[in-house]
């Protein structure tokens, strides 16, 4: 069943503005139920490659800045355009220009200071750009040659695409700080105690304070207070004196696979959420995104079972910590056996998050690798949903601009493909399994065995799904499955222990 209607409607209504797209609207049959919906036209995705993408708004569009000074932009989180490619040793438009003030180190001097006799190749790793209230763009860049030979600096520009003028270094690891000493000069730099100074994110808290969260592997994740008028460290801030001058340690870590921090405040829940990536970033490294929360921007941050990760974290047991919102996965094709046909998605991670205050929607922006494509990666965007328990759950498919967001129970019956993300740093994709959602609220396997129950909330959106005795809370939604080129019913939900369960419609029998 398919019908076509002419249309001209607004798509992707975001704080950056409204784009209008005209064409045909198609009526699609949902898997397994026989109901049709008027939905948005199939999205036309525009792929770009930016590793460790950090999002910020400017000039009615959104940008992402990442490692190696790569940048891309979008007007709707669907179509993207590359602005700059990886640095690769040659300055591009985002390479910080020297400050005419002689008291500020030139970039050549900064690099020499960070290297301090090391011979490893030096590069620009993850960056973050923050649009300030006065219209200035603060670019927090990181330069590194090793865990103990890294630094975060600030460059300021009047436009998103530069030029940016360096203001100097903010924080440096051991080799660059007084011959292997901490910033306060009192201790030797040790990788199990002190940070690898990369992966910065600057943010304002709900009270107007300006912060920099940073860190990768060594020592954990740290927080410093900044002066918004300069973008540099705030003089006299007590928190900046902690950890021998590296600031508040939010995640205690003895050189384990935790990096890429990003903090966002949710006005719906009243919590600050700290996102990090666990595992190795390579295709076979098991990268996955996790989240913790706190009532204060400077912690303590906890997970669903109240681990205070500033004190209790054990780097040898990563799987035990945090809400794992997404790892490597693979949906089977509609009606096909598990593991066949569709692309395997590997090592998703190093994310940022955008909150659209006008619509109350959240968007997760990260880089994604793929089975069989080596280390190639693309920017991906998914919508995030605040669950009943005030945790974030990620859509099973990338953001598509679709509008269907409420259902009746009969529209959700039929075959479903379910993916349990578990708690591991999985290096191969977790594959989907086929279940049936019956009209009487039961969930069965192909054999007919009852394995759980499903329930749609009175709002037509809330999902309560119990499988093998475990309750998962989340939302039902409608998504574009770009592997099968069809709109499908879907859900995303979390267990009380922070395990993500995804569902996607499958073909009727």
Q: pLDDT of 118-136, one tens digit each?
A: 777 788 999 999 999 999 9
Which runs of E-coded beta strand occur in 173-209?
201-204
pLDDT tens column, 230-282 = 999 999 999 999 999 999 999 998 888 999 999 999 999 999 999 999 999 99
Q: What DSSP letter does each residue of 19-62 carry, written as one string?
A: EEEEEEEEEEEPTTT--EEE-PPPP--B----SS-EEEEETTEE
Distance CA 384, CA 381 (A): 10
- The pLDDT-based confidence of 403 (bands split at 50, 70, 90) is confident
Name the CATH superfamily housing domain 54-394.
Glycosyl hydrolase domain; family 43 (2.115.10.20)
Please state whether beta strands 4-14 and 486-495 pair in parallel, antiparallel, or not at all (unpaired): unpaired
Cis peptide before 447 (omega within 30 of 0): no
Average pLDDT over residues 409-430: 95
Output the CA torsion sign for 225, 227, 231, 232: negative
Distance CA 370, CA 328 (A): 9
- CA-to-CA separations, 366 to 48, 78, 129, 424, in angstroms, rounded: 12, 13, 15, 19
pLDDT tens column, 188-234 = 889 889 999 999 999 999 999 999 999 999 999 999 999 999 999 99
**pLDDT exceeds 90 at position 20:** no
Q: What is the DSSP letter of 333?
A: P
Distance CA 476, CA 378 (A): 26
Q: Check: CB of residue 250 under 8 Å from CB of residue 311.
A: no
- CA-to-CA separations, 257 to 242, 252, 253, 281, 397, in angstroms, rounded: 23, 12, 9, 9, 26
Token pair 């409607």 is at which residue? 9
Catalytic residues: 52, 259
* Nearest 10 degrees: Cα torsion 394, 399, 400, 403: 50
Q: Check: CB of residue 420 under 8 Å from CB of residue 431.
A: no
Domain boundaries, the chain: 54-394, 409-505
CATH of the domain spanning 409-505, picked from 1.25.40.10, 2.40.128.10, 3.20.20.105, 3.30.1300.10: 2.40.128.10
Q: Indicate the pTM of the whole model.
A: 0.92
């Amino acid at each position: 069943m398919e019908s076509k209607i002419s249309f001209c409607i607004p798509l992707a209504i975001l704080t950056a503005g409204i784009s209008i797209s005209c064409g045909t609207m198609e009526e699609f049959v949902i898997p397994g139920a026989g109901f049709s919906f008027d939905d948005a036209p199939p999205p036309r995705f525009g792929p770009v490659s930016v590793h460790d993408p950090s999002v910020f708004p400017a000039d009615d569009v959104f940008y992402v800045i990442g490692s190696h000074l790569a940048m891309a932009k979008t007007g709707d989180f669907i179509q993207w355009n590359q602005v700059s490619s990886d640095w690769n040793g040659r300055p591009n438009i985002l390479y910080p220009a020297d400050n005419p003030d002689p008291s500020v180190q030139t970039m050549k001097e900064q690099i020499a200071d960070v290297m301090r006799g090391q011979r490893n190749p030096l590069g620009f790793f993850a960056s973050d750009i923050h649009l300030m209230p006065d219209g200035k763009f603060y670019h927090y860049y990181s330069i590194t040659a090793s865990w103990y030979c890294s630094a975060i600096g600030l460059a300021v520009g009047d436009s998103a695409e530069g030029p940016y003028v360096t203001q100097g270094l903010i924080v440096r690891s051991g080799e660059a700080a007084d011959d292997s000493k901490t910033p306060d000069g009192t201790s030797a730099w040790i990788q199990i105690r002190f940070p690898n100074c990369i992966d910065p994110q600057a943010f304002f808290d709900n009270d107007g304070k300006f912060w920099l969260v940073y860190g990768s592997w060594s020592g954990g994740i740290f927080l410093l207070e900044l002066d918004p008028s300069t973008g540099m460290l705030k003089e006299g801030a007590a928190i900046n004196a902690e950890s021998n001058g590296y600031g508040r340690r939010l995640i205690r870590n003895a050189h384990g696979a935790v990096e890429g921090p990003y903090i966002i405040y949710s006005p719906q829940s009243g919590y600050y959420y700290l996102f990090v990536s666990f595992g190795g970033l390579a295709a076979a490294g098991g990268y996955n995104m996790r989240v913790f929360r706190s009532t204060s921007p400077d912690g303590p941050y906890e997970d669903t079972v109240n681990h205070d990760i500033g004190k209790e974290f054990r780097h040898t047991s990563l799987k035990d910590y945090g809400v794992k919102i997404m790892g490597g996965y693979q949906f089977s094709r509609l009606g096909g056996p598990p593991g066949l046909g569709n692309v395997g998605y590997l090592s998703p991670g190093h994310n940022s998050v955008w909150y659209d205050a006008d619509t109350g929607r959240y968007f997760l922006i990260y880089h994604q690798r793929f089975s069989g494509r080596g280390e190639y990666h693309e920017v991906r965007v998914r919508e995030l949903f605040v669950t009943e328990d005030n945790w974030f759950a990620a859509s099973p498919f990338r953001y598509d601009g679709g509008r269907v967001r409420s259902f009746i129970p009969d529209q959700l019956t039929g075959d479903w493909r379910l993916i349990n993300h578990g708690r591991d740093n999985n290096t191969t994709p977790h594959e989907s399994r086929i279940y049936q959602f019956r009209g009487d609220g039961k969930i069965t396997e192909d054999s007919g065995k009852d394995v759980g129950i499903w329930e749609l909330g009175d709002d037509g959106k809330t999902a309560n799904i119990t499988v093998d005795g475990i309750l998962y809370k989340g939302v039902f939604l409608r998504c574009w499955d770009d592997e099968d080129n069809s709109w499908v019913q879907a859900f995303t939900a979390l267990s009380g222990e922070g395990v993500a369960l995804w569902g996607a419609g499958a073909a009727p029998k």
